[in-house]
Structures are given as C-alpha cells and as structure tokens.
Homo-oligomer: A and B are copies of this chain.
Amino acid sequence: MRAPIEAETLRRYRRAADYLAAAMIHLKDNVLLTEPLRREHLKPRPLGHWGTCPGLTLVYAGLNRLVAETGQRTLLITGPGHGAPAIHANLWLEGTHAEYDPALSVNGHGLAELVRRFSWPGGFPSHLSPEVPGVIHEGGELGYALATAFGAAFDDPGLLVACVIGDGEAETGPTAASWHSPKFTGPDDGRVLPILHLNGYKIASPTIYATMPDDELTAYFTGCGWTPLIVDVRGTGDPDTPLADALARAHRQDTGPPPMIVLRSTKGRGLPATSPDGTPLEGTFHAHQVPLPGAAEDPDQLAELERWLRSYRPEELFDADGVPAGDLLTVPPEPSLRLGRVPQANGGTLRRDLPLPDIGKFAVAVAGRGAVEESPTGVLGGWLAELVRQAPQTFRVVCPDELESNNLGALLDVTDRQFARDVPGYTEHLGKRGRVLEVLSEHLCQGWLQGYLLTGRHGLFPCYEAFVSIVDSMVNQYAKFLKMSGEVHWRAPVASLNYLLTSDGWRQEHNGYSHQGPGFINQMLTKKADTARIYFPPDANTLLETMHRCLSSTGLINVVAAGKQSGPVWLSPDEARAHCRAGAAVWPWAGDEGEPDVVLACAGTTPTVETLAAAQLLADAAPDLRVRVVNVVDLLSLCPPGRHPNGLSEKAFAECFGEDVPVVFAFHGYPSAVYEVLHGRPATQRFHVHGYREEGTTTTPFALLADNGMTRHDLAADAVGRARGWSSAGGDLARGFRHRRDELLRLSCRDGEDPAEITGWRWSR
C-alpha cells in the first residue's frame, strides 16, 4: 500500500504513454524527435488505431494507481484490442515488456525497438495478441471481452478483472447479453469491473451507447443489475481524479449491485482539432485509425504530425538515453502486481491436471456386441459427477440450459446450477454455488469458458449440435489465439476447450429441421491441424475414454459428438482405449476376415448402429459377400499423415480401407466433411459417403434416416451395388433392400412411431 501518486506525475505518465502510442503508429526512426521529423522517419505503411488509445492509457494509469494503493490483484481485459499501442506503451513503461524480452528494455534502445516493432512485419500485430504479456483477449473481433472477463473471475475470489468495453463493441449481441453475467457469479468468484469506454464513434458513425443520455445509461445498467458510475472526462479539466474516485468507489463497494463505470472521453484526445485539409480530427471518428495517414507524401501532414508529436514534449519525459523520467517509473505498482505480470494472463502456468476418476468404475460391462444398451451421455454424466464430487474448484460445465435435456443430469446430483439471485418460484438444482453454469446463450457459455481456460482452469461445453454454430466465429478467434500462443515461448499451454455435441439431428425428439445441423464439424476442419480434434465415439465406453483423453489434453479444441439416447455398447473399456489410440480400426467381429468385396465404414453413434445392422442384413441375405466393417472414432485419422498429426499411416489406412475396394461410409455429418479429410488419400473416388443431406423434419427416427439415405437398408443396398464382383447379383439384392426400406417407412409414418421390428434389432453374428 503506497502513498497516492501525485496528480502531475500521473499526467506526465499519461503524456509519455500517449506519445509512445502515437509514435508507434507513425514512426520507425527518430522516435524521440531528437531531430526534425523527416519523411524517412515514418513507417511506409502506418497501421494502427489511435482513437481509443488516450482513453485506454487513462484507464491503465488509473488502475495502476488503484493497484499501487490497495494491492488489489488485477487482470486487465482490453475489449478494444486495436488500441494495442496504448497497452504496449504502458507495458513498456512498467517494465513488463523488458521482462519478457530484453530487447524491449526501459531505455532508448528498447523504446526505439518497441516503436519500430509495432505493426511491422515480424513485429507486434496492430491488435493485441498472445505475443503481448498480460493479454488473454485479442479484441480483434468484437463482442467477447466482458464474457471472457467473467470467465477469468470464476473461482478466483481475490481477483479483480477490469474490463474495458469499447462503445463499438457494446453494440454487439454477445456484449449486450454479457451485462447479465453477475446474476451467475457466486460468493467464491472474483469480481469484474466493466469500464464502458464511450468516445462517441466507431469507424465512421456515432455509437449507440455514446448517443444515450446519462439517464438512459443509468437506467439501462441499473436494470442489468449494476451500480453505474458515470465519469465524464470530455472537458479540459483533470480526468485522473474523477476516474480515480470512481475506481476507488468501485473497489470499496462490497454490498449492493456491483459497480461498473461508464467513461465518457474525447476520441483521440490530444490530436490537433483538424488535419491540414480541414478534416476534423480530435473528438471525431476521423481520429479512429491513423490520424495523419498521408504524412509521408504530404508535407503539410508531416508538419502537422511533428507539431502533434512535439505537443507531448517528449524531451521532458525521457532523458537523452530514452530512459523515462524517474517520477514516471513510480506510477506502476510493484512488479508482482503489475497489470502485465498477473499470472492469470498466462494461465498455462497455473494449470494443474484435473483429478480425473478412473473410468473403469463407470464403464459398461460388455456381455456381447451391442447386447447391453446405455445412453453414452448418461454414462458420461456419472463419470463427470464423480469428477465434480472430488470438488476441484478448477472445473466447470457451461451449457445453454440443456444439461438435463442432454442426459447429463447426474451432474446435478452432486452440484447445482450456480445462480446469484433468490428465485421465489419452484426450482431444482439451483444454488448460490455450483459447478454448472446454464444460460440460454451459447455466446456467454463460450466466452465464460474461454476466460476460465485461459486463466488456467478446465471445462466442458455440452451443446445441442445444431446450435453450437452460434459460436463459430468465437471458435475461429479462439483457434487463432491458441495457434499464436503456441508460437510464444513464454506461454504455457492451457487446458483444451472441450465440446460435447449431442441432441444431434438423427435423434431430435421434440424438435425438427431447425434442430438438425452438423456443420460445426466442417467448421472445425478449417482449423490448423495442431489445434482441432474431432471425435465420434460410437458407444458409452468409447465416449468415456474419449472424454478422459480430452480433459487430460492441452492446447486443443476437442469436438466430441455423442448420442444421448440409449444405444448399444460395442466395445469393452480396454477395446475402447485401443480404438481411441488407433483412431480408426477394423472391427473384425462385425464382418469378414480377409480381403473384402466391400468395406462398410462408419463414424458416429447412429451411423455405427446402422452400419452394423447393414452388415447383419448382408450376412443374412448375401452370405458369400465379404464385408469388412471399419469404425472411425477420430475423424482426422482419415487425413493423410502429412496434413494432420492424427492421420493414419499409409499402412494403417490400407489395413482399414484397402487400396481399391469400394467403401460405403456412413457418416454422422455432411458427407462433404469426409471427402474433405480424405483428400490426398489414394483412390478416393471409391468412397461413397452417406450422411446428413438436409432432409426431413419432425418425424420418426427411421423416416429421418430414410430421408437422408442412411438406413441400414440404404447402406446394404449401396454395398451390394458397389461390391467388387457383385454387379449383377448385387442389383437384385439392392432393389430388395430398398423395397424393404420403403415398406418400413410406410409403417413408420403410418403409426407415427417406429414399430418394434425396426428399433428392436439385435446384433446376432
């Protein structure tokens, strides 16, 4: 706890940071203006966003003061990640940059390097990114800062997460939903202090929130459950004191609705009023990006740029060697409390393995192939409940109100859904503390989980498969964060982001066409090979094994698609382990040994059942046909090994699929996903993929399969039609299978439910 920082010191500190930020955007040389500014000192491609920088430094300086005075452990999340120059300036002044990279030492060399390196090939990107210490949120795509902040705060009671939200970002849906997050925080969670930074404009227009008068803002945030503190520093007076007062008040407050700050500031504060051509600058959207972009060509702009930069009087702030004046260095708190140094921002260093229960106790005993039926997610729920029972305060399940609907209700026997408010009406499994966070917003689930994982914890996101695409773009950005983190030597890997996709389109119960959509798989296929994993465990035991692997892994995005309805268990726990290790394998017990006439391959719960039933049909109807059955649990094992580390070796691939034998592939998702991963394998034209083709709506499971050509009869018909050496005999058989399918379809549709002879099938080979 230190004495308050002098107001003049804080002002000088901000002048230095603002100067550095402006220099970063424009200069590559003469960075302290020790000589007259010339064209060759300028970056030829000035890239950056100035408008939000002075406001960010105001906040950073204010937080420095708060932290120095109170010792509050604080993580800063910067929603306007394009205000990176301001963050860099502060990280350099506080010495954090120098700690992570000696080339950025707190002297003239480091300063020159910092300025040059910003928005420069091989240097720092123009936005915040994992290369920047203290950062767990890029703020490139807008909307997720506040949810990420709450994720970081869960289960870290001593932590304050300060979160700057730009007024552009505030217009996004995910941000608007995030304001309700305090309704989900519990007594053992840290606190989030949102600072809504209103500087009036986005790229070219006024923002919604900046055009709201104070009384509307107060009403809005009061309605969301906050105590809004409005700080307006647009005048010419001292901005530090009102902000400091609000921060101190926010920090003190420990009863009543939590505090949030609305900071009204002047966009691009410090710029000239107009550019030489008369374009208004300070306080308008023209201050948003590079304020004087033509300085390299236009002598008037160059002169204006020099006047602007010199208005910060760098010579008063840095000595001849570029070392900041001594008073400036008193502003940042002691090293361990500096915003850039907080260990939560490098969460991998805090990550500890989860105490995963042994799966043996939860696995299903297998009496015969498919003889026992269990709900895969139901069995998983029991295992997850045991994990939660061991009470790790580092594991959470986020879910859009679908935990029970997804048959994971066993979790709720051992923990509650966490909800902050008293609910007078009837509830079940709702409490002030709980490992489960349920909110009908996939965006919030994802944002919370990202913040939680990036600060060193673990989690699982079960989701209706069709609706997980709501977070497609968040996953894009998260995958980018992971990829870049892997290239930063000081970042330790964080726990993987784990999706459990269930309530899939094949068995949708109360829902119809809108609830069918396996496109997230295709989305994941666009990700880097060192990031994405996609699993289709075919039964309960394989799901247990798969999830054990996922929750043990780091640095990945794991997508696991599994059924929730009761279904056959095919593999013993040991077999499941071996199967997961292989990725894809022949199931010898399900087909013929030796060289096959046709391969029946499958990936996914429902396709596996249909494929094995097809093999049964074929064994009965065409005993001479040699059928091999292959199950794929790891979709990316189909990729050539050069394209994906999980890709089967050429030899293993050939052991599964032969080299020129026809393959009839029953796939959980769009057939295109299989074609895509197969590219580069030999003779891919022999693969004939059955999958979801956007047909069918509210109907029986059998009719839905038939609409998409995925019944066992379709697979069997395709197999005999394509099998080597079966071109003549196969035709009749195929017609027979299709005829039978149509008969059963009529029956299924007539009665409004699949008759027992359809669903009552048993493996009998």
Contacts and interface: CB of A to CB of B under 8 A. Distances in A.
A402 B168 CA distance: 12
Contact of A694 (B207, B477, B483): B483
A472 B698 contact: no
Given A119-B698, A440-B172, A425 B679 contact: no
A526 interface: yes
Interface-centre pick from A206, A440, A476, A685 (highest chain B CB count, 10 A) = A440
Contact of A206 (B122, B423, B519): B423
Given A126-B511, A129-B513, A697-B125, A519 B171 contact: no
Interface string A210-241: 01100011111111110000000000000000
A510 B472 contact: no
Given A476-B519, A703-B121, A208 B220 contact: no
Contacts of A208: 180, 183, 439
A311 interface: no
Nearest to A223: B220
Contacts of A175: 173, 177
A293 to B, nearest CB: 10
Copies in the complex: 2
A204 interface: yes
A203 B404 contact: yes
Contacts of A48: 510
Nearest to A531: B694
A428 interface: yes
Interface-centre pick from A179, A207, A510 (highest chain B CB count, 10 A) = A510
Interface in A234-278: none
A539 interface: no
A684 to B, nearest CB: 7
Contact of A219 (B49, B169, B222, B684): B222
A205 B206 CA distance: 38
Nearest to A120: B752
A528 interface: yes
Contacts of A517: 473, 476
14 contacts: A43-B753, A44-B752, A122-B699, A125-B513, A168-B440, A173-B174, A204-B438, A205-B430, A220-B223, A280-B426, A472-B472, A480-B513, A480-B694, A522-B523
Interface of A: 28, 43-45, 47-49, 81-82, 119-127, 129, 138, 140-143, 168-169, 171-180, 183, 200-208, 211-212, 216-225, 280, 283-285, 289-290, 401-405, 417, 419, 421, 423, 425-430, 438-441, 443-444, 466-467, 469-470, 472-473, 476-477, 480, 483-484, 509-515, 517, 519, 522-523, 525-528, 670, 672, 675-676, 679-680, 684-685, 694, 697-700, 703, 748-749, 751-753
